[in-house]
Structure 1
Amino acid sequence: MNMNAILKDKRSLFWTLQFVGWSGWAMSFYLGVIMWGSPPDNYLWYLPLIATIGMALSLILRGIYRYMWEMDLPRRIVAIAAGSYGAGLVWMACRGTIFYNMFPAQRKITERDSMSFLSYFDGAISAFWVMLVWSALYFGIKNYLQAQEDRERSLKAISMAHEAQLKMLQYQLNPHFLFNTLNAISTLVLDKNNELANIMVTRLSRFLRYTLDNDPMQKVTVAEEVTALQLYLDIEKVRFDDRLELRFDIQDEASRALMPSLLLQPLVENSIKYAIAHAINGGYISVSASIEPDTLVLQVADDGPGIDLSREIPSNGGGVGLSNCRERLNEIYNERQSFRLSTTDPHGLTITIRIPLEYSKEG
């Protein structure tokens, strides 16, 4: 069993630490006896026995501590000190009884010693310190594990909120897009252009399947993003026909880079809404992807009326797609991204996105 599995399994961790801790105490005690002389016969049987009794007493303390876990700090400290000292006295009494029965010669020596009571008292203090150290370790480790659990729960809650935020941002524009598309299909049906309406429904189905199959928490390659974008633009081409000109400039190296899925679709939709839909002769939308040192550069440009750069609002109003994309980038990359607006020469809007350069591990 690896360390991470042990840390997550509290029962296994407790018994592992119990065995290691009490075995370590017995070994250190034995080494201390050896330093002062040769231990009596059967001493190697005596030590495991009293260590087992100490472990049993610590289990009783564990039950008491579980009961008083929610007590206020002063009462808990008093309970720990009293419990440790009581367990130390009982442990020392058991040790003395077993020792004198296993080693009767030592008992005769002790009975002639007028300081035997003080020796027992010193032993009880020593046993108290052992139990107190055990109690401190028990509370320390338990508090640490509980803090880790609270931290994991907090991180999980943050992650879930983060994922919900990203999904909300990704799907925020879909109702508007669906409304326009279904309205266009309805118009085609009323005009009895059933073949084109069927084509549009098929393309809409393919695009929606792609959006539903892609998790906004996962990243896709630029090539996959462009494919999804073309699914979306296939639908818009039915609406605008020759009024919509598309230009793609994707570098080979950039096509393998990773980016958030469906990041560009709201930007392209924003361009169609404000640059193409209101232009009598239509216009163009260009999408490009290139590589700079450790950076993926994405651009969406159009030749529409542009925006007020001081307020970042399209001249026709709105601009939800821009804030949507900016918020999503901030959620994913924080300060490691940039989202810049500029004017397309001679007029229009150019959006430049810079994100950290990443490649799929499988690639």
Structure 2
Amino acid sequence: MNTNTLLKDKRTLFWTLQFAGWSGWAMSFYLGVIMWGSPPQNYLWYLPLIATIGMGLSLVLRGIYRYMWEMDLPRRIVAIVAGSYGAGLVWMACRGTIFYNMFPTERKTSERGGMEFLSYFDGAISAFWVMLVWSALYFGIKNYLQAQAEKERSLKALSMAHEAQLKMLQYQLNPHFLFNTLNAISTLVLDKNNELANVMVTRLSRFLRYTLDNDPMQKVTVSEEVEALKLYLDIEKVRFDERLQLRFNIQPEASGAMMPSLLLQPLVENSIKYAIAHAINGGYISVNARVEPDTLVLEVADDGPGLDVNNGVSTNGGGVGLSNCRERLNEIYHERQSFTLGKTEPHGLTITIRIPLEYGKEVQ
């Protein structure tokens, strides 16, 4: 059983520590007796017996502590000290009774020396410290386990919120795109262009299948993202035909790098909405990917009217697609990413994304 499994199984952990702790006490006590002289015969039977009694008394303390766990700190401290002292007195009484019955010659020696009461008093103080140390370890370990459990619950809640946020951002992308595509299909059907309408339906189903099969928590390679982007653009090409010109420039070393799935689709959709749809002669959209030291750089550029940009940020928002993309990057990479807007010469908008360079499929 590994350490993580043991920490999660509190019952097994408790009994493991109980046996280890009391066995360690018995062994150290025996070694201490050997250092001061030769122990009485059958002493190795005596030590396990009193260690077992001590363990039983510690279980009584455990029940008391569990009952008063929610009490305020001063009352808990009083309960710990009083409980440890009471358990120490009972334990020492049991030890004395068993010892002097198992080793009667030791009792006679003690009585002749007049040291029986003093020996018992010293032993009771020692037993109190043993029980107090046990109590401190019990509270320390229990508090540690509770803190770890609370931390795990917090991390799990944060992870669930993180995943829900990413999924929400992804699902916001689909309605606007679906609305436009279904309108285009409806127009084609009304124009009795059924063959082209069927092509759009087929392409739409392929793209939606891809979006449903890819979790927003899952990263994909740049080449896979480009293929998904082409599925989307195949649909838009039916709508805009020659008005939509596409340019892809993907460096070979960038094609295998990892990135969040469907990250670029809302950016391209934004370009189509603002740069292509309202231009009489259409325009172009360029998708670029390159590698810089420890960084994957992604760019989406168009030759539309552009946006008012100040220090890489749009002064007038830039639409839901841009804000969703920015939020999604922040959720995944935090400060290890950048999302900047710039001008395309002579006119247009260039969106540049920088994220950590990773290779090999990983789940965020």
Q: Do Structure 1 and Structure 2 share a fold, with TM-score over 0.5?
A: yes
- 1:10 aligns to 2:7 (yes or no): no
Mapping for residues 48-197 of structure 1, pairs under 5 Å: 48-197=48-197
Partner SS, residue 39 of structure 2: coil
Q: 2 CA distance for matches of 1:321 and 1:361?
A: 25
CA offsets 1:65-119 (integer angstroms, 9 cap, x no match): 1111111111111111111111111110110111011111101111223231121
Displacement of 1:235: 0.7
What does 1:258-269 correspond to in 2, within 5 Å?
Answer: 258-269=258-269
Provide the residue aligned with 1:221 in structure 2: 221
The equivalent residue for 2:335 is 335
Deviations 1:181-214 (A, max 9, x none): 1111111111111111111111111111111111
Q: Contact 2:258 / 2:361 at 8 angstroms: preserved in 1?
A: no
SS in 1 for 2:288: strand
Which structure 2 segments of 5+ residues have no match?
A: none
Tell me the distance in 2 between the aligned counterparts of 1:90 and 1:197.
90
- Structure 1 runs not aligned, ≥5 long: none
Residues 299, 350 of structure 2: 8 Å contact kept: yes
Residue 173 of structure 1 deviates from its aligned partner by: 2.1
Segment of structure 1 superposing worse, 136-145 or 68-77: 68-77
Q: 1:210-268 CA deviation, whole Å, 9 max, x = no partner?
A: 11111111100000000110011011011001100011111111000000000000000
Q: What is the DSSP-based 3-state SS (H/G/I as helix, E as strand, rest coil) of the residue aligned with 1:128?
A: helix
**Cα pair distance change 1:313/1:209, threshold 3 Å:** farther
The amino acid across from 1:320 in the alignment is V
Superposed, which structure 2 residues align to 1:211-360 within 5 Å? 211-310=211-310, 312=314, 318-360=318-360
Counterpart AA for 2:355:
I
Tell me if structure 1 keeps the 8 A contact 2:92–2:123. Answer: yes
CA distance in 2, matches of 1:170, 1:113: 86
Q: 2:26, 2:51 within 8 Å by CA — same for their partners in 1?
A: yes
1:313 CA drift (Å) = 5.3
Report the secondary structure of 2:38's partner residue. coil
- Find the residue that maps to 2:127 and give its secondary structure: helix
| In 2: Cα distance, 1:199 partner to 1:62 partner | 72
Secondary structure at the aligned position of 1:342 is classed as: strand
Residue 37, structure 1, aligned to residue 37, structure 2: yes
CA distance in 2, matches of 1:294, 1:332: 17
- Residues 135-185 of structure 1 show CA distances to partners (whole Å, capped at 9, x for unaligned) of 000000000000000000001111111111111111212111111111111
- CA offset digits 1:39-85 (Å, max 9, x no partner): 11111111111101100110111111111111111111111111111
Secondary structure of the residue aligned to 1:124 is helix
> CA–CA distance in 1 between the matches of 2:361 and 2:280?
47
Q: How many residues align?
A: 360
- Aligned to 1:307, the other structure's residue is in SS state coil
Task: Give 2:203's aligned amino acid.
Answer: R
Q: Give the whole-Å Cα distance in 2 for the aligned partners of 1:185 and 1:124.
A: 90
Calculate the TM-score normalised by the size of structure 1. Answer: 0.97
Runs of 4+ in 1 over 3 A off after TM superposition: none
In 2, Cα distance between equivalents of 1:352 and 1:128 = 69
For residue 312 of structure 1, what is the amino acid of its counterpart?
A: S
CA–CA distance in 2 between the matches of 1:242 and 1:46?
96
AA aligned opposite 2:42: N
8 Å Cα contact 2:307-2:318 kept in structure 1: no
The structure-2 alpha-carbon separation of the partners of 1:82 and 1:107, relative to structure 1 and needing over 3 Å to count, comes to same
What amino acid does structure 1 have at the position aligned with 2:80? I
Contact 1:296 1:356 in 2 (8 A): yes
Residues 313, 319 of structure 1: 8 Å contact kept = no
Question: What is the SS of the residue equivalent to 2:175?
Answer: helix
Cα 1:214–1:307, aligned 2, differ >3 Å: closer, same or farther? same
| Matched-pair contact (CA < 8 Å) for 1:275–1:302 | yes
Distance 2:110 2:205 in 1: 93
Would you say the 8 A contact 1:216–1:261 is kept in 2? yes
**SS of residue paired to 2:217:** coil
